[in-house]
């Protein structure tokens, strides 16, 4: 049987990580991996997470299963964090998942189950796991324009034109704050126009959000998601705690499904429970339990929010430093977009050939499409990167 399996393409980011590890140069910089790193190059355990885990270790007296949808307390805490009071709680079904990717997988499964003919509109670019899972499930995808390679901002006119091709029953996969791998984000006025198109076409939005708190603040970063969710009849939201709680390896995510009315909530919740049962029965609980404790305890929540704000400001500082250094070296403002982007990532908008030049000549490791992880920098490495970008002719 196994001889019938086909070799799958190698993961480009894993190959990049391996090449970085094997590079002997002391000045090498890793901008490829999508995890937050502090100035020392470490992905730390947040203070509130450590404190919550200590409490959990002392207080937890059972490792028995939780429900198929996970702990209801986790669902309530995450719905409050992401949606606030923007949507009536009695219309929201939710289920814990193994990370944000698990939430996306369950969402795509439910889309296919509810409407086998549904098309999913995905941005260019989007994250590889979106395309990979949709392809594996044989769900038709339609690409919509997003990134303008000339301005390094959003091609908003192209985006709207493409989204207007959606039909009732289709799904539009949207990126929450800081989530698009380019670092370019819509403003609130543009989000309102997207909502108008969704209402006009009857397409259902699905929002993937994993970086709440990394852009302009916890509530500010939730504005767009809350706007969309409160404006349309139905909505799917895949949320991850990996980044803003730093619990990457705990695989802590949630899928929320907003029904048109409270009468459909039971059916929707039962469907989420069923999908969890088919795929992994019970979702992981440790990370979800820790997140719930933090969000429900005022002192832990305040400390978590304070540390998250430190992370946010550090990345903004690195963006401004890099944009300023590039302005000094180039004598132009053409890299100003780096300070305007938000979150961990920015896309330089250059060619794979010049990305390779930076790797070979300057030991700068970034993905071939020129996406780079700003959190992979520190104050010392910013000038090194800036010089490499100018010397390579970007």
- Judge contact between 122 and 145, C-beta under 8 A: no
Active-site pick, 48, 69, 184, 243: 243
- Judge contact between 96 and 70, C-beta under 8 A: yes
Please provide the average confidence, as pLDDT, over all residues in the chain. 96
In the chain, count of helices (H) and strands (E)?
Answer: 14, 13
> How does pLDDT run across 216-265, given as a tens digit for each residue?
999 999 999 999 999 999 999 999 999 999 999 999 999 999 999 999 99
pLDDT in the model for residue 273: 98
- Judge contact between 347 and 147, C-beta under 8 A: yes
Residue 10 pLDDT more than 90? no
Tokens of 362: 């300057």
Q: What proportions of the chain, in percent to the nearest 5, are helix, strand and coil?
A: 50, 15, 35
- The arithmetic mean of pLDDT across residues 105-126, rounded, is 97
- The arithmetic mean of pLDDT across residues 302-327, rounded, is 97
Tokens of 229: 């969710």
Catalytic, 127? Answer yes
C-alpha span between 254 and 96 (Å, rounded): 4
Catalytic, 88? Answer no
Residues in the chain: 394
Using DSSP bridges, classify how beta strands 252-258 and 235-240 pair: parallel, antiparallel or unpaired: antiparallel
Catalytic, 191? Answer no
pLDDT in the model for residue 14: 84
Active-site pick, 148, 155, 162, 208: 208
Residue 379 pLDDT more than 90? yes
C-alpha span between 236 and 257 (Å, rounded): 5
C-alpha span between 161 and 197 (Å, rounded): 9
C-alpha span between 262 and 92 (Å, rounded): 8
Q: Is the pTM of this model over 0.85?
A: yes
Catalytic, 113? Answer no
Beta-sheet strands, E only, within the chain: 29-30, 92-98, 120-124, 141-145, 147-148, 153-154, 171-175, 204-209, 235-240, 252-258, 345-347, 364-365, 371-373
Active-site pick, 210, 288, 363, 375: 210
């Amino acid at each position: 049987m196994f001889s019938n399996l086909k070799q799958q393409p190698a993961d480009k980011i894993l190959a990049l990580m391996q090449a970085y590890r094997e590079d002997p140069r002391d000045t090498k910089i890793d901008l490829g991996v999508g995890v937050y790193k502090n100035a020392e190059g470490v992905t730390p355990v947040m203070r509130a997470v450590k404190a919550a885990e200590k409490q959990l270790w002392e207080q937890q007296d059972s490792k028995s299963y939780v429900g198929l949808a996970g702990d209801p307390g986790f669902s309530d805490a995450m719905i409050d964090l992401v949606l606030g009071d923007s949507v009536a709680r009695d219309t929201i079904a939710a289920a814990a998942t193994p990370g944000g990717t698990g939430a996306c997988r369950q969402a795509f499964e439910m889309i296919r189950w509810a409407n086998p003919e549904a098309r999913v509109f995905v941005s260019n670019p989007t994250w590889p796991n979106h395309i990979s899972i949709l392809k594996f499930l044989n769900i038709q995808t339609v690409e919509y324009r997003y990134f303008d390679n000339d301005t390094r901002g959003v091609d908003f006119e192209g985006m709207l034109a493409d989204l207007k091709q959606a039909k009732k029953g289709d799904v539009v996969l949207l990126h929450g704050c800081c989530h698009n791998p380019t670092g370019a984000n819509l403003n609130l006025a543009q989000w309102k126009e997207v909502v108008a198109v969704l209402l006009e076409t009857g397409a259902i939005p699905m929002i993937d959000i994993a970086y709440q708190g990394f852009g302009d603040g916890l509530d500010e970063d939730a504005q767009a998601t809350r706007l969309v969710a409160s404006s349309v009849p139905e909505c799917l939201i895949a949320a991850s705690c990996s980044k803003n709680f730093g619990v990457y390896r705990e695989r802590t995510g949630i899928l929320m499904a907003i029904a048109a009315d409270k009468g459909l909530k039971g059916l929707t919740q039962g469907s989420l429970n069923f999908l969890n049962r088919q795929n992994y029965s019970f979702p992981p609980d440790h990370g979800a339990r820790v997140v719930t404790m933090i969000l429900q305890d005022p002192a832990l929540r305040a400390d978590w929010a304070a540390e998250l704000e430190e992370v946010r400001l550090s990345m903004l500082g690195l963006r401004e430093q890099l944009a300023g250094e590039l302005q000094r070296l180039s004598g132009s403002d053409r890299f100003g977009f780096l300070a305007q982007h938000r979150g961990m990532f920015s896309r330089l908008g250059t060619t794979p050939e010049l990305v390779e030049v930076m790797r070979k000549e300057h030991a700068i490791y970034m993905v071939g499409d020129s996406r780079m992880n700003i959190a992979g920098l520190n104050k010392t490495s910013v000038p090194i990167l800036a010089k490499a970008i100018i010397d390579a002719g970007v």
